[in-house]
A and B are shown apart, each in its own frame.
Chain A
Amino acid sequence: MRNLIKRLHWIDYLILFVLVAATAAIVVRVGGVLNYDWRWEKIPNYIFRYKESEERWVANLLVQGLVATVRISIYASILALILGVILGVARCSANLTIRMLARTYLEFLRNVPPVVVIFIFFFFLSEQLIVALNMESWARSIARQENNAIWTFLFGDMRRFPALISGVIVLALFESAFVGEIVRAGIQSIDRGQREAARSIGMSWFQEMRFIVLPQALRKVLPPLANQFISLVKDSSLVSLISVPDLTFKTVELVASTRLIFEGWLTAAAFYFVICFGLSLLFRRLENK
């Protein structure tokens, strides 16, 4: 600490001073000019609340949203990884058509804003899929069953299953392009000799990928994949736009009904930050092992 203070230059003090002053100005403006009435004491009630009829604590809006965000993130990551590996392999394919299709998909996602992509995926793909598979009535029938504890644990309230699943599909399709690029880089970093050796012991193209190339490629790109996973958690807030009840969606609800604008959003920000920063610390530690 003493070393740190010694190393600070006058310019560092200036920067810190400006930051503190700006924060103070915002606080004063919010409290004074906007006449904002801080009501932080209301927030804990929206995290957990005491349900008197059952005499126990239950998750309220913010935690419900948080749990949904975590569920969506986990399922979407798994799906995005699968799709991304397929896409990455397709990008390295010897077949021009396959390569061009994968490239087109990637360029579409790279050059269209995420919100627009999410709406397009939602209306054109996942909604159609849900209708085509008759998922709505299937989910309702499970919701009516007695022993749906496992389903509820995995997917939350089954009546909201279609919304959750379309969020997962949309998010996974969106992220898979970027996962695909990472996988492609991994595959291309594998020495050509590895593939020749695999081929020369009689492996088929699929075996060569499955047993030789992908295990090595994925191990190499684990750090960027971990980063992409963190991005995915953040991007999951976009699915609130298609009415998936995630943390962002629930915060909108909270703010709309209670007008706890600053408190609500700051709390949501803190939740996201804790998840993402925690994940990044975790990945860093795993990487060092």
Chain B
Amino acid sequence: MNSGEMISVSNVDKFYGSFQALTDINLTVEKGERVVICGPSGSGKSTLIRCFNGLEFHDSGSITVDGIEVEEGSKALKTLRQEVGMVFQQFNLFPHLTILENLTIGPIRVQKIQKAEAEERARKYLERVHIPEQADKFPAQLSGGQQQRVAIARSLCMETRIMLFDEPTSALDPEMINEVLDVMVELADTGITMVCVTHEMGFARKVADKMVFMEAGRILEISEPDKFFTNPDSPRCKLFLSQILEH
């Protein structure tokens, strides 16, 4: 494997029973690269990135993330998941813990660092997502946009090298989308490796190094954003873009 590769996917297939969710997926993500995956719903985008940190497992082919082979039951999964942060559509904050505890539980319990150090780290990342004042509240007391920013901070708190975003703005009210996207743009500028499933094409145009278009479990197009938005090779991709960009 080339030392610059963070994620490398080759010939991956995945089935749910007899339904084929992913078909012959090949993709590499370089260190520090920002990749945006888009496509109609049900096209396997989420399934694909969920295979990157072992929330789902592929049936054939291979996925290597930061030098670790992703395999069901593998002992290295725990290490892998500490390297890879994930932000979910539904935030999935822990409702019984305060914001600060949501951020520190990973570092304290998984990485076994001291509580004081973890809290210091947590406050630093809360600062970075612009909500340091919410530290002692519970998730239910925050707006959707704030919750999603906390979720981003929670992943960052593990000092991850790769961040996966699974439609991070799809469950948000329109006026809160921008505050989350702004944080993501700032994050992109730090040089972290990002893979993002999203329909936010403005965001994609701003940060993406590479665009991926999927449909029906296949990757139909991988290209630079300039080419992707102006002249994609696949006609299906062209149609998709015209449909979501028209409004």
For the complex, is A36 an interface residue (Cβ under 8 Å from B)? no
Task: Compute how far the CA of A213 lies from the CA of B53 in the bound complex, rounded to whole angstroms.
Answer: 20
Contact yes or no, A202 B158, CB < 8 A: yes
Q: Is the interface of A mostly helix, strand, loop or mixed?
A: helix
Task: Compute how far the CA of A198 lies from the CA of B88 in the bound complex, rounded to whole angstroms.
Answer: 12
Q: How far is the CB of B85 from chain A (nearest CB, A)?
A: 7
Contact yes or no, A203 B110, CB < 8 A: yes
Closest to B56 in A: A196
Closest to B105 in A: A211
Among the listed stretches B22-30, B90-98, B114-122, B182-190, which one makes contact with chain A, having 4 or more residues with CB under 8 Å of it?
Answer: B90-98
Contact yes or no, B96 A203, CB < 8 A: no
Among candidates B79, B88, B155, residue contacting A193 with C-beta atoms closer than 8 Å: B88
Residues of B close to A199: CB separation below 8 A: 54-55, 81
Among candidates A196, A198, A201, residue contacting B158 with C-beta atoms closer than 8 Å: A201
Interface positions of B (Cβ within 8 A of A): 53-55, 78-79, 81-82, 84-86, 88, 90, 92-96, 105-106, 109-111, 151, 154-155, 158
Residues of B close to A278: CB separation below 8 A: none
Task: Compute how far the CA of A197 lies from the CA of B152 in the bound complex, rounded to whole angstroms.
Answer: 12
Contact yes or no, A211 B92, CB < 8 A: no
Q: How far is the CB of B105 from chain A (nearest CB, A)?
A: 6
Contact yes or no, A201 B92, CB < 8 A: no
Q: How far is the CB of B58 from chain A (nearest CB, A)?
A: 17
Among candidates A194, A202, A204, A219, residue contacting B94 with C-beta atoms closer than 8 Å: A194
In chain A between 185 and 233, which residues have their CB closer than 8 angstroms to a CB of chain B?
191, 193-194, 196-204, 207, 211-212, 215-216, 219
Contact yes or no, B82 A201, CB < 8 A: yes
Residues of A close to B78: CB separation below 8 A: 202, 204
Instruction: Name 8 extra pairs, CB < 8 A, besides A199-B54, A215-B96.
Output: A191-B92, A194-B94, A196-B88, A197-B92, A197-B93, A200-B81, A201-B85, A203-B106
- When A and B form their complex, which 3 residue pairs have the shortest distance between CB atoms, in order from nearest? A197-B92, A201-B106, A193-B92
Residues of A close to B109: CB separation below 8 A: 203, 207, 211
Task: Compute how far the CA of A219 lies from the CA of B95 in the bound complex, rounded to whole angstroms.
Answer: 11
The listed residue with most B CB atoms (<10 A of its CB), out of A194, A198, A199, A201, is A201
Q: How far is the CB of B93 from chain A (nearest CB, A)?
A: 8
Residues of A close to B79: CB separation below 8 A: 202
21 contacting pairs across A/B (C-beta < 8 A): A193-B90, A193-B92, A194-B92, A196-B92, A197-B92, A197-B93, A197-B94, A197-B151, A198-B94, A200-B55, A200-B86, A200-B155, A201-B105, A201-B106, A201-B110, A202-B79, A202-B82, A202-B111, A203-B110, A204-B78, A216-B96
Task: Compute how far the CA of A175 lies from the CA of B54 in the bound complex, rounded to whole angstroms.
Answer: 38
Task: Compute how far the CA of A204 lies from the CA of B73 in the bound complex, rounded to whole angstroms.
Answer: 12
Closest to B101 in A: A211
Residues of B close to A211: CB separation below 8 A: 105, 109
Residues of B close to A207: CB separation below 8 A: 109-110
Q: How far is the CB of A136 from chain B (nearest CB, A)?
A: 43
Residues of A close to B95: CB separation below 8 A: 216
